[in-house]
Amino acid sequence: MTRSAPPDVARRIRARVEGTVQGVGFRPYVYRLACDERLGGWVRNDERGVVLEVEGAAGAIERFLARLPREAPPLAVVERVRTRPRACTGARGFAIAASAGGGSAATAPVAADSAPCDACRAELLDRADRRFRYPFINCTDCGPRFTIVRGVPYDRALTTMAGFEMCAACRAEYEDPLDRRFHAEPNACPACGPRAVLLDAAGSSVAAADAVAAAAAALLDGAIVAVKGAGGYHLACRADDEAVVAALRGRKHREDKPFALMAHDLEAARALVELTPEEERLLAGRERPIVIAPRRRGARVAAAVAPGRRELGVILPSTPLHLLLLGEAGVTLVMTSGNVSDEPIAFEDADALERLAGIADRFLVHDRPIETRTDDSVLRGPIVIRRSRGYVPASLALPGSPRALLGCGAELKSTFCLAKGGRAWVGHHVGDLRNWETLRSYRDGVAHFERLFAVAPEIVAHDLHPDYLSTAYALEREDVERIAVQHHHAHLAACLAEHGETGPAVGAIYDGAGLGADGTIWGGELLAGGLGGFERAGHLWPVRQPGGDAAAREPWRMACAWLDAVGEHPALPPTLRGEVAPDRWDAVAALVRTGTAAPLTTSVGRLFDAVAALCGVRAVVNYEGQAAAELEAACDPDERGAYPLPLGSGTVLDARATVAAILADLRGGATVGVVAARFHGALAEATARACAVVAGRRGVDTVVLSGGAFQNRRLLERTSALLADAGLRVLIPRRLPPNDGGIAYGQAAIAASALRS
Ligand code: ZN
Ligand code: ZN
Ligand code: FE
């Protein structure tokens, strides 16, 4: 029996809408919806979101409330609508009322940046439109948001657009509730908004009627051009010119880390890589991430773009400026972060001109400042590898804690996470915290998010590792309680919490390194537990890591350690002759034997290093994770075999048998492709078997696969399939990276759980 009023009885209700509902065209949307349902009332912003009252026939109000979340504008995220009845006033007509005073407790979320919408793209290419070829066109459905916000409430005066006074035409659009640009804070046009200019290598402006066209012409001639994007500077050059790409590598001091490519549209992207329908949807989505996918045979891309890889990272134009540039150039461009080596991407104009001076021949810049540096986000298969522009600062649910929290993250791929009242805001990818410049943006980022989302953390969760700068940051925060969280437990918790679960589950957490509860280096862990706690139920066979961190840069050292573990007198293997001097090898073998400067590790990342080195794939890496990525790329796609990898007592994955089998195969003349594939098979099978054993013993049916090693698509897919075959439910990280980019959120989830109990 229904208790709702008969459909034609007059009613009035007040509704509070929470979520990302400001700066996304929500009020005009409500206005149109109310008019459509012939309802009277009003709508306004306040510090918590949007408040509205509607009055009219009960049936119309019901339809209005049902449509409200369903038909919301593209950038809006409606998290909650709460209604209560009000007395009818009899007033007709609907109005957009002035905002209620901001106050200090502003929590209405700021949206993420969005690629140009269809309507803006059409205007951009329409000769008759007043914004024809205007590189900064935007509306309430698209454009910059997070990268230009200086404070809240989200209002033009508190963005980097504050210095641009709207012309009469723009102002009229901005003030018209029925216009697509009603309260579009970055609204601009050629008469009143930002302008693009082209500078030469010395920073002097190059006379050109159309800066973007001139930049495209320079690119076609083989120039390297620094391009100011939404979240920072990129370095661009033609992707099909071997010499130019090699020159970019040389000047950037980036030896072989793959470059991303920008294609003009989906069709151009399809000529470069093989895309699933889902990948096409993500590639063309308004978040505009880089999607890494298998390279298409015959793709016209220089070999120097992605040496040693079978995949390419592709992105479509993320701003109108990029759209014009690619349209004008007519070729695919390398679009890589504007930095030298591992420094953070440049985003401030003076700094960019200085730092990129020796690299770029031209600078395509503009006068709209970037407030927050954000890198391009990166996706691969089902996994987010880097979460930044387009996704940040969208919030995630986090089981509620009574108090405000900060998770400080780890050291590499750093992010931070603020949480309160059941929501968590994970910061943009900051990068390697061992760099002073990165540490500064980390501190600034935390402070910025605290203001934007009005979170004043009382509890600070950090990694167990005392030497991480994120831990040092946690220790210097005043007037807070601190919780130390084990690294791999945080990986497990992040994945569970993202899926709205608390455990118990079995976690296979494989990565490069994290400080274990026993003081040794962990990285190949089978954990049993959930947000409330964990036990170490098993792990990879421990070996020495000769030289500590040096072994992460020099995989051959791990080859030496594993040879010693299998009882071979570690003589320099033939595949490493010419790569490693015999006396250095002997010195490292001595460290392994004596244990001097050679801590024990169970790291799966270091096992990958050892195998890559033994195969002759890579003896020394130029960036983190390179050996494992190249070993994956080397796999023979047709090889389905697997080496033995037995489970020892205590559920120890005894990879000594695996390494012995690899040595035998290599001596027997097996190809690297076959060896690499069988190694992946061994690890996937052993992991699935071990998880099933632990799950059976503990009576749980859920397995979490996480940690940076699961960025490896072959390992992830094989392991997931085997676990599913065994009747287990598999959870993998979807919204946050499996690498250390997910740690801060996991720390916050564990702290919230501890506070609840
Ligand atoms: Zn638009
Ligand atoms: Zn204007
Ligand atoms: Fe990790």
CA of 207 to the centre of ligand 1 (A): 30
Which domain CATH number covers 224?
A: 3.90.870.10
Span between the terminal Cα atoms of the chain, in Å = 40
Residue appearing with tokens 């004043």: 456
**Which pLDDT value is given to residue 177?**
80
User: Which of 518, 511, 493, 432 is closest to 468 using CA atoms?
Assistant: 432
Closest ligand (CA of 509): 3
What share of the chain in percent tops pLDDT 70?
98
Question: 69 CA distance to ligand 1 centroid (A)?
Answer: 20
Residue 105 has a pLDDT of: 40
623-657 burial, b if ≥16 CB within 10 A, otherwise e?
ebbbbbbbbbbbbbeebeebbebeeeeebbbbbbb
Question: What is the per-residue pLDDT for 4?
Answer: 59
Instruction: Tell me whether residue 173 is in a domain.
Output: no
Q: What is the mean pLDDT of residues 389-396?
A: 94
Task: Tell whether 639 is covered by a domain.
Answer: yes
Average pLDDT estimate for 707-711: 98
pLDDT, position 211: 97
Ligand nearest to the CA of residue 708, numbered in listed order: 3
Q: Which residues surround ligand 1, an ion (CB under 5 A)?
A: 117, 120, 139, 141-142
pTM for the full model? 0.92
Distance 704 CA to ligand 3 centre (A): 14
- pLDDT of 563 > 60? The answer is yes
Q: Are residues 87 and 225 in the same domain?
A: no
Is residue 434 assigned to a domain?
no
CA–centroid distance, 409 to ligand 3, in Å, is 10
Residues 6+ apart with CB under 8 A from 566: 656, 659, 660, 663
User: Exposure of 715 by Cβ count < 10 A (0-12 exposed, 13-18 middle, 19+ buried)?
Assistant: buried
Distance between CA 700 and CA 412 in Å, rounded?
32
Q: Do both 248 and 365 map to the same domain?
A: yes
CA of 415 from ligand 3 middle (Å) equals 12
Q: Which ligand lies nearest the alpha carbon of 168?
A: 2
pLDDT range class, residue 276, cuts 50, 70, 90: very high
pLDDT at position 365 over 50 = yes
Query: What pLDDT is attached to residue 1?
Result: 38
Residues 91 and 202 in one domain: no
Q: Which of 317, 345, 380 is the last residue of a domain?
A: 380
Tell whether 545 and 683 lie within a shared domain: yes
Identify the weakest region by mean pLDDT among 111-125, 196-210, 423-437: 423-437
Enter the tokens of residue 366: 């503009």
Same domain for 92 and 206: no
Tell me the per-residue pLDDT of 727-749, one tens digit each, with 9 for 90 and over.
999 999 999 999 999 999 999 99
Each residue's pLDDT tens digit, 637-646:
999 999 999 9
pLDDT of res. 104: 39
Domain final residue, candidates 38, 70, 96: 96
Write down the pLDDT at residue 431.
Answer: 84
Would you state the pLDDT for residue 107?
Answer: 53
Distance 452 CA to ligand 1 centre (A): 24
Strands (E), 421-532: 423-426, 459-463, 481-485, 505-515, 521-530
Ligand 2 centroid from CA 142, angstroms: 17
Residue 225 lies in a domain: yes
In this structure, is residue 456 part of a structural domain?
A: no
Mean pLDDT of the chain: 94
Predicted confidence (pLDDT) at residue 434 exceeds the cutoff of 90 = no
Q: 201 and 92, same structural domain?
A: no
CA 190 to centroid of ligand 2, rounded, Å: 6
Q: Is 70 exceeded by the pLDDT of residue 384?
A: yes
% of the chain at pLDDT higher than 90? 83
Same domain, residue pair 88 and 219 = no
Q: Residue 605 corresponds to which tokens in the numbers above?
A: 């990342």
**221 in the same domain as 79:** no
Domain around 86: 10-96
If you average pLDDT over residues 27-37, what whole number do you get?
A: 92
pLDDT at 102 over 50: no
Instruction: List, for residues 305-364, the tens digit of each pLDDT value.
Output: 999 899 999 999 999 999 999 999 999 999 999 987 777 888 888 999 999 999 999 999
Kindly give the distance from the C-alpha atom of residue 508 to the centroid of ligand 3, in angstroms, as a whole number: 12
Residue 577's pLDDT band (cuts 50, 70, 90): very high
CA of 25 to the centre of ligand 1 (A): 11
Q: Do 68 and 210 belong to one domain?
A: no
What's the CA dihedral at 670, 636, 570, 541 to 10 degrees? -130
Average pLDDT over residues 214-239: 97
Looking at residue 152, its pLDDT comes to: 79
| Å from CA of 94 to ligand 1 middle | 25
585-620 pLDDT, tens per residue?
999 999 999 999 999 999 999 999 999 999 999 999
Within 8 A by CB and 6+ apart from 519, the residues are: none
Most confident range, picked from 429-443, 558-572, 653-667:
653-667
User: Is 326 inside a domain boundary?
Assistant: yes
**Top-confidence residue, 119 or 46:** 119
Q: Which residue has the higher pLDDT, 193 or 75?
A: 193
Q: Are residues 210 and 73 in the same domain?
A: no
Question: 71 falls in which pLDDT band (50, 70, 90)?
Answer: very high
The pLDDT-based confidence of 670 (bands split at 50, 70, 90) is very high
| Nearest ligand by distance to the CA of 140 | 1
As for how many domains the chain has, the answer is 3
Residue 728 counted as domain residue? no
Is 121 contained in some domain?
no
Last residue of a domain, one of 325, 356, 380: 380
**How many angstroms is it from 708 CA to the middle of ligand 3?**
6
Quickly state the pLDDT bin for 756 (edges 50, 70, 90). confident
CATH number for position 25: 3.30.70.100
User: Which ligand neighbours the alpha carbon of 131 most closely?
Assistant: 2
Q: Which ligand is nearest to the CA of 187?
A: 2
Nearest bound ligand to the CA of residue 410: 3
- According to the model, what pLDDT value does residue 103 have? 42
- Tell me, yes or no, whether 72 and 203 share the same domain: no
Of 524 and 19, which is predicted with more confidence? 524
Number of the ligand closest to the Cα of 603: 3
126 CA → ligand 2 middle, Å? 17
How many angstroms is it from 46 CA to the middle of ligand 3?
Answer: 40
Question: pLDDT band for position 402 (50/70/90)?
Answer: confident
Ligand 1 geometric centre to CA of 385 (Å): 28
What is the rounded distance in angstroms from the CA atom of residue 315 to the CA atom of residue 335?
A: 9
